[in-house]
Amino acid sequence: MSTRFEHDDDGVLVIIGSGAGGGTLAHALARKGIKSVVLEAGKRYALEDIENDEWAMFEKISWLDERITAGPRQLSETFPNLPAWIVKGVGGSTIHWAGVALRFQPHEFRLHSEVGDIAGANLLDWPISYEELEPYYVQAERHMGVTGDASGMPLHDWNNNFMVLAEGARRVGYEKLRAGPMAINTRPYDDRPQCMQAGFCMQGCRFGAKWSTMYTDIPRAEATGYCEVRPNAMALTIEHDERGRVNAVVYADAEGNLQRQRARAVCVAGNSIESPRLLLNSHSALFPDGLANSSGQVGRNYMTHATACVFAEMPKPVNMHRGTTFAGIISDEARLDRSRGFVGGYTLEVMSLGLPFFAKFMDPANGGWGRDYAAILEKYDHLSGVWICGEDLPMEENGITLHDSRKDQYGLPVPIVYKGDHPNDEALRRHGQQQARSCYEAVGAVRVFDVPDFPTSHNVGTNRMSARPEDGVVNQWGQAHDIDNLFVSDGSQFTSSGAENPTLTIVALALRQADHIAERMSRGEL
Amino acid sequence: MPLAIGTTLSRRRFLTLTGVLAAGSLALSASTLWPRWARAEPELATRLLRLGRDIYPHEAIADRYYLAPLTPLLGEQRELIAAGLDDLDRRARAAHGRDYAAVDSAAEREALLRQIEDGEFFQAVRNTLVVGLYDTPELWQAHFGYEGSSWEQGGYVGRGYNDLVIDWL
């Protein structure tokens, strides 16, 4: 905890962000004896700060700085300043994530090769294969404590919410029904306790049973003496020398004073809105369009997953709020099968919301009120819900840009987050809604209703990986094509979104990147 | 948030705006538990209450649970609320010949509200209520079957997270 590096120490790596990417990377590097300073925009929280209270935690940990939701989707009207639901705090969105730890499927790394060009989509293969990433998936699963083979922990028992959905799913012919894999301990593992089935996974795990860098990687990195984490440190620009190599990060500290941290290399891990925003804001005479942006792809290809929710009222109480929030997964539709009328697949993930959030999110549009609305809420304990996590195609026009004149409290241009749906996304969503409806009807639902998607927690793709520099921002190691000591270490490097939750893949990529950085340092290249 | 409303204004409003309260005497009977502003201005409170109860109708929930979350709104956007209620009464009189609260049919009142649901006044009330009303722990268990915070009791391990029997098929 006590390690302090000087601002003019140019031997440190500067890592921006402390979540799944940045936190994992800092820890992995520290264990190799590589020094880093982690700049985290948010505060540091203790386990005691975590409450089982939806609105209190929303107010406490969410990233609520000004953002503009743009694009032809309902979210632009219902949440005009909250395009994404992510965390500002040490640990980042690993405080908020629900623990679903699925690997991408092999074909998802080469979607373009599989399906060819699709009009309106900016498809590209990853420059890395599943086979190359697989050892790091195993490492990530052990590291995080993912239930299943890698950790040896059994999967969770099915909770009531999943029992309902799974029974319906079986009756419509689905077979791939599992209560996991999840990075939520089913028995003590890695000095953390087992899950108490408290619910409130997305408000932060009060027990520390769910993996989060907040109480694993970050304190462990600090304990090595090789890592200093600076909370309340908002990165504003990355600076470079006359040769175009990055050499410092300017940030605002807790008092709002500007500081400059010298850097041997910089790793950007601020999630898919903040990371491109920082690169774009770091424009210079040498890089007039922003850092690492010779391709023009910084901030583009923003993907959120094609999602929707379906809820159903059952004849008897389900008590969906008891137990883990995302308690079970149906993977039958995750395959690539163009006969369904769309490319890419989706997973169906059983989910719950507490009454306070459900009342707000059931229909956040202006019409979300009235006798029927209240009648559904009176049946809250009879509800079961499912969330569709579907492949969202990259589109060049979806992305992050900087507002011309509006600035936030740090003086940074406010990000505009533009997202529209590809017709493929819409077809996939409709299919998922229909299948979810069929599942619930098969298990005797009294009524089934669609719930619009919320501000997104899965934000990927805005600094994408590519084999060729002209197609993307970073190479297969997350290293910028244009600047050899600048890295992207979060979900923004995803080339495609897959049908799976992104966190496990972010962690696997960060572990792999740590090996790569260490190797290049040992060769004297960094 | 406690709200200081000038008592002079409240009394004057109460005295000058009488004769509106179709349901007023009924509501007043339980009004000792109302927030301070509502006790000071029962006429305003009663009109707002009718609106709130039409937006999220739960017959068994007491009036004070609708009024309490609306308290900050009265502090921050008082004029918007007063003007909005007046407008609603004008619409009700035009359509039904009486003030909004005096329209007997819930369906007719809902129809009036659908006309204004995109407006700033209606959304201010709705947005305040949808967060405040349903974030009231005293109401959760009895009215919705929601149990709230569980970590203090060790979560739901051994307390019914996986005890469902699907016996209705």
Rounded to whole angstroms, how far apart are CA atoms A129 and A519?
A: 20
Q: What is the pLDDT of residue B18?
A: 33
**Token pair belonging to A111:** 């979607």
pLDDT lower than 50: segments of chain B: 1-28
Q: Is the CB of A51 inside 8 Å of chain B's CB atoms? A: yes
Rounded to whole angstroms, how far apart are CA atoms A258 and A400?
A: 25
* ipTM of this predicted structure: 0.94
Instruction: Mark yes or no for CB contact B144/A167 under 8 Å.
Output: no
Give the CA diameter of chain A.
69
Evaluate whether residue B124 is within a structural domain.
yes
Chain B CB contacts of A369 below 8 Å: 55-56, 117, 126, 130
Report the residue from B122, B126, B150 with minimal CB separation from A52.
B150
Q: Is the CB of A155 inside 8 Å of chain B's CB atoms? A: no
Strand order in the sheet with A68-70: A68-70, A413-418, A399-407
Q: What is the pLDDT of residue B15?
A: 33
Instruction: Mark yes or no for CB contact A198/B147 under 8 Å.
Output: no
- Of A451, A453, A434, the residue nearest A373 (C-alpha): A451
Rounded to whole angstroms, how far apart are CA atoms A369 and A246?
A: 53
| Domain that residue B112 falls in | 39-55+62-135
Instruction: Mark yes or no for CB contact A356/B123 under 8 Å.
Output: no
Report the residue from A157, A366, A444 with minimal CB separation from B162.
A157
Q: What is the pLDDT of residue B32?
A: 81
- Of A67, A16, A465, the residue nearest A273 (C-alpha): A67
Rounded to whole angstroms, how far apart are CA atoms A303 and A326?
A: 21
Mean pLDDT of chain A: 97
Could you tell me how many residues make up chain A? 526
Chain B CB contacts of A366 below 8 Å: 117-118, 122-123, 126
Evaluate whether residue B160 is within a structural domain.
no
Residues 6+ apart with CB under 8 A from A165: A328, A330, A348, A350, A384, A386, A439, A440, A443
Rounded to whole angstroms, how far apart are CA atoms B66 and B37?
A: 13
Q: Return the C-alpha torsion angle B23, B28, B31, B36, nearest 10.
A: 90
What is the H or E stretch that residue A361 is in?
helix A355-361
Q: What is the pLDDT of residue B29?
A: 52
Mean pLDDT of A343-359: 98
- Residue of chain A with shortest Cα separation from B166: A164
Q: What is the pLDDT of residue B7?
A: 34
Q: Give the Å distances, CA to CA, from A151 to A154, A181, A190, A510.
A: 9, 10, 10, 19
| CA A423 and chain centroid, separation | 23
Chain A CB contacts of B57 below 8 Å: 370-371, 374
- Residue of chain A with shortest Cα separation from B53: A370
Question: Which residue segments constitute the domains of chain A, with CATH numbers given?
Answer: 13-523 (3.50.50.60)
Q: Give the Å distances, CA to CA, from A323 to A353, A359, A443.
A: 11, 20, 21
Q: What is the pLDDT of residue A1?
A: 53
Residue A235 and residue A278 in contact, taking contact as beta carbons nearer than 8 Å = yes
Q: What is the pLDDT of residue B30?
A: 67
Rounded to whole angstroms, how far apart are CA atoms A354 and A431?
A: 26
Per-residue pLDDT for A206 more than 50?
yes
Evaluate whether residue B66 is within a structural domain.
yes
Domain count, chain B: 1
Residue A339 and residue A409 in contact, taking contact as beta carbons nearer than 8 Å = no
Report the residue from B58, B149, B168 with minimal CB separation from A374.
B58
Rounded to whole angstroms, how far apart are CA atoms A274 and A88?
A: 11
Report the residue from B106, B123, B131 with minimal CB separation from A366.
B123
A172: closest CA of chain B, how far (Å)? 14
- Of B2, B1, B98, B119, the residue nearest B50 (C-alpha): B98
Chain A CB contacts of B116 below 8 Å: none
The total of other beta-carbon atoms located within 10 Å of residue B153's CB is: 12
- Of B80, B102, B77, the residue nearest B91 (C-alpha): B102
Per-residue pLDDT for A187 more than 90?
yes
Per-residue pLDDT for A46 more than 90?
yes
Evaluate whether residue B111 is within a structural domain.
yes
Q: What is the per-residue pLDDT across A155-174, written as a single tens digit (0 to 9) for each?
A: 999 999 999 999 999 999 99
Report the residue from B135, B144, B166 with minimal CB separation from A377.
B144
Chain B CB contacts of A160 below 8 Å: 160-164
Instruction: Mark yes or no for CB contact B168/A314 under 8 Å.
Output: yes
Q: What is the pLDDT of residue B16?
A: 36
Evaluate whether residue B13 is within a structural domain.
no
The total of other beta-carbon atoms located within 10 Å of residue A358's CB is: 24
Residue A98 and residue A180 in contact, taking contact as beta carbons nearer than 8 Å = no
What is the H or E stretch that residue A330 is in?
strand A328-330
pTM of the entire structure? Answer: 0.94
Instruction: Mark yes or no for CB contact B166/A167 under 8 Å.
Output: yes
Evaluate whether residue B103 is within a structural domain.
yes
* Residue A448: burial class (beta carbons within 10 Å; 0-12, 13-18, 19+): middle
Q: Return the C-alpha torsion angle A136, A139, A145, A148, nearest 10.
A: 80
Q: Is the CB of A374 inside 8 Å of chain B's CB atoms? A: yes
Question: For chain A, what percent of residues have pLDDT higher than 70?
Answer: 100
Mean pLDDT of A36-63: 98
Cα separation of the two ends of chain B: 49
Q: Is the CB of A289 inside 8 Å of chain B's CB atoms? A: no
Evaluate whether residue B27 is within a structural domain.
no
Evaluate whether residue B10 is within a structural domain.
no
A167: closest CA of chain B, how far (Å)? 9
Q: Give the Å distances, CA to CA, from A2 to A179, A225, A263, B109.
A: 41, 8, 20, 64
Report the residue from B55, B133, B155 with minimal CB separation from A196.
B155
- Ramachandran angles phi, psi of B29, nearest 5°: -65, -30
Mean pLDDT of A44-65: 98
Report the residue from B144, B151, B164 with minimal CB separation from A198.
B151
The region, left, alpha or beta by phi > 0 then psi within -120 to 50, assigned to residue A276 is: alpha
Residue A36 and residue A51 in contact, taking contact as beta carbons nearer than 8 Å = no
- Residue of chain A with shortest Cα separation from B119: A366
